[in-house]
Structure 1
Amino acid sequence: MSNLKNEVIRAVRLGDSDTGRIVGQSLKKLRELAGLTQKELAARLDISRSSISNIENIGDVHIHSLQRYVAALGATLRIEATFPATEQLANQFNLAFDPDTPDENQLVFPIFGDDIFRRQRDVVLSIRPQYTSKIMEGKKTVELRRRFPISAPRGTVAYIYSTSPERAMVGRAEIADVVKLPIEQIWKKFGKSASIKRSDFYAYFDGLKEGFVLQFTNPQLFPRSLSLSELRDRFDFEPPQSFLYATPILRKALHDEFPNVSY
């Protein structure tokens, strides 16, 4: 836990009862993981050791004090509201905001901090190898999704993760537009540019009346692929079933390591 600087720490774990004690235990655990004694943390905060003890034993602490405690560990406090990504909630919250989504099944909104309601970040798309190669060659100009934020800003970057057996991040493309249409209209308008067989198309959208079309532009192959093992080791990355939002550290690494690829 020596590299807590600028990291987000989920310090508060709320239960149905005795919330203060749970908060205090979480803070104590974080302090211990950071390798600090109560006396050392008290010195950083310019308060008494007994005050630290009271916070950790009782957990009755104001948000401002909680923020200072976590900041003294070298971390950043973040409080979030997590919702299931149902169509109704997605429309209600309007995904033009950045919900820091771990996967396509959750909407996570920060309710405390400096990053409330940011614009959407770029996304990572899991795509089969036979399709990723066509995207990089410019032959496949659209990607189909059962679910996707239709309000994604134009120019959003889609990082292409090629699934098994390749299992690597291979390139990027810009999302020129996101269209939501009835399934039959998608096939008529985009079936050819999606480079998919009719049987596979209808199997993919089975059970849905409408689907999403991501229109790609400016596909660019990375000079080297990033394997899944490298992605896990460096970025704690796990490939999504459909899509996820790219973390800032992943985006920065791709930008720094591939300077000849325009962003």
Structure 2
Amino acid sequence: MKVVGKVFEPLPDRSDTVDAHIGQRLRQIRKLAGLTQAQVAERLKVGQSAITRLEGRKDLHVSTLREYLGAMGATLRIDAHFSDAAAMVTNLREADFCFEQIDENQLVLPIFYEDRLPPHRDVVFSIKPEYSRKIISGEKTVELRRRFPMSVPAGTTALIYETSPTRALSGIAEIGVVHRRTPQDIWQIFAERACIAQKEFDAYFAGSEVGYAIELRHARPLRRLLELSELRDRFSFEPPQSFLYATPKMRDALRYECAEVSH
């Protein structure tokens, strides 16, 4: 368990038994926060006896744990730690998951926390040259995907990686509304703005019950192309099959070197 906000994460006392239950840990956290049971009870609008019972329990609902920590000005984060993570990294980068990579063999995956995405989490799209150039020119204002996280907020920066033969980061845009609809609805509503022929559209969404139409706005070219060799050397970047989240290092470099990236 990690507590974020007013961070109360005491190191375990060596004298503690390994089976110390969660109520005892919460009592320790409360005391380190300088709060009494009565003060926490007042903030939660419950009796002090309810806090006593809570701090004596060996398990808790996540919602109860969140409320208790919230009364102390903290937020709750629960992580899954994978000791052998090397095989998962590529899939996680392309999936709807944020993660921390401690080293090449260990990942921390947030299971539960307040914000679905951290701030300034830019998205990198892999797009064929004929489509990426239409986005940058303003002709194409909708990008289509078989899967895409609905949690990506409007205003998120979209970085455009132009696939072979260009193989370079070439443009930047801003994500607007993300629509989740059937392929039939997407075709009827967004086909013209997506600049795609029906044959290619049908082939792309074959077998899919739903798809995603991602509105793009304020598209413009980068001041210079960032070729794949440079992206690999500087950011350990590998082109996604569909999309991935850009690293903060890449975002900062683009802001200062290639374009004005703002949120």
TM-score by length of 2: 0.58
Match of 1:239 in 2: 239
Q: 1:192-230: CA deviations, max 9, x gaps?
A: 110011000010001011100100010011110100000
In the alignment, the residues of structure 1 paired with residue 172 and residue 135 of structure 2 have an alpha-carbon distance, to the nearest angstrom, of 9
After TM superposition, the structure 1 = structure 2 runs for residues 35-184 of structure 1, keeping only pairs within 5 Å, are: 80-81=80-81, 102-105=92-95, 107-109=97-99, 118=115, 119-120=117-118, 121-184=121-184
Shift of the 223–193 alpha-carbon distance from structure 1 to 2, 3 Å rule, reads same
Shift of the 217–108 alpha-carbon distance from structure 1 to 2, 3 Å rule, reads closer
Shift of the 106–195 alpha-carbon distance from structure 1 to 2, 3 Å rule, reads closer
Work out whether residues 155 and 176 of structure 2, in 8 Å CA contact, stay in contact via their aligned partners in 1.
yes
Q: 1:33-69: CA deviations, max 9, x gaps?
A: xxxxxxxxxxxxxxxxxxxxxxxxxxxxxxxxxxxxx
In the alignment, the residues of structure 2 paired with residue 215 and residue 252 of structure 1 have an alpha-carbon distance, to the nearest angstrom, of 24
Matched residue type, 1:187: W
Matched residue type, 1:137: S
In the alignment, the residues of structure 2 paired with residue 131 and residue 139 of structure 1 have an alpha-carbon distance, to the nearest angstrom, of 9
Q: 1:99-138: CA deviations, max 9, x gaps?
A: x97433463556699xx65534111000000000000000
5+ residue gaps, structure 2, are: 1-78, 83-89, 101-107
How far did 1:171 drift? 1.1
Match of 1:192 in 2: 192
In the alignment, the residues of structure 1 paired with residue 109 and residue 205 of structure 2 have an alpha-carbon distance, to the nearest angstrom, of 38
Work out whether residues 80 and 108 of structure 1, in 8 Å CA contact, stay in contact via their aligned partners in 2.
no
The RMSD of aligned alpha carbons is 2.6
In the alignment, the residues of structure 2 paired with residue 212 and residue 112 of structure 1 have an alpha-carbon distance, to the nearest angstrom, of 25
5+ residue gaps, structure 1, are: 1-78, 83-99
Secondary structure in 2 aligned to 1:193?
Answer: helix
Match of 1:93 in 2: none
In the alignment, the residues of structure 2 paired with residue 242 and residue 221 of structure 1 have an alpha-carbon distance, to the nearest angstrom, of 20
Q: 1:65-121: CA deviations, max 9, x gaps?
A: xxxxxxxxxxxxxx7557xxxxxxxxxxxxxxxxx97433463556699xx655341
In the alignment, the residues of structure 2 paired with residue 133 and residue 107 of structure 1 have an alpha-carbon distance, to the nearest angstrom, of 29
Secondary structure in 1 aligned to 2:256?
Answer: helix
Work out whether residues 99 and 109 of structure 2, in 8 Å CA contact, stay in contact via their aligned partners in 1.
no
Secondary structure in 1 aligned to 2:93?
Answer: coil
Moved segments of 4+, more than 4 Å:
79-82, 108-113
In the alignment, the residues of structure 2 paired with residue 185 and residue 112 of structure 1 have an alpha-carbon distance, to the nearest angstrom, of 34
Work out whether residues 143 and 213 of structure 2, in 8 Å CA contact, stay in contact via their aligned partners in 1.
yes
Larger radius of gyration: 2
Shift of the 166–183 alpha-carbon distance from structure 1 to 2, 3 Å rule, reads same
Q: 2:248 matched to 1:258?
A: no
Secondary structure in 1 aligned to 2:202?
Answer: helix
Work out whether residues 146 and 205 of structure 1, in 8 Å CA contact, stay in contact via their aligned partners in 2.
yes
Secondary structure in 2 aligned to 1:107?
Answer: coil
Shift of the 81–156 alpha-carbon distance from structure 1 to 2, 3 Å rule, reads farther
Aligned residues: percent identity? 47
Match of 1:216 in 2: 216
Matched residue type, 1:193: R
Q: 2:206 matched to 1:206?
A: yes
Work out whether residues 157 and 261 of structure 2, in 8 Å CA contact, stay in contact via their aligned partners in 1.
no
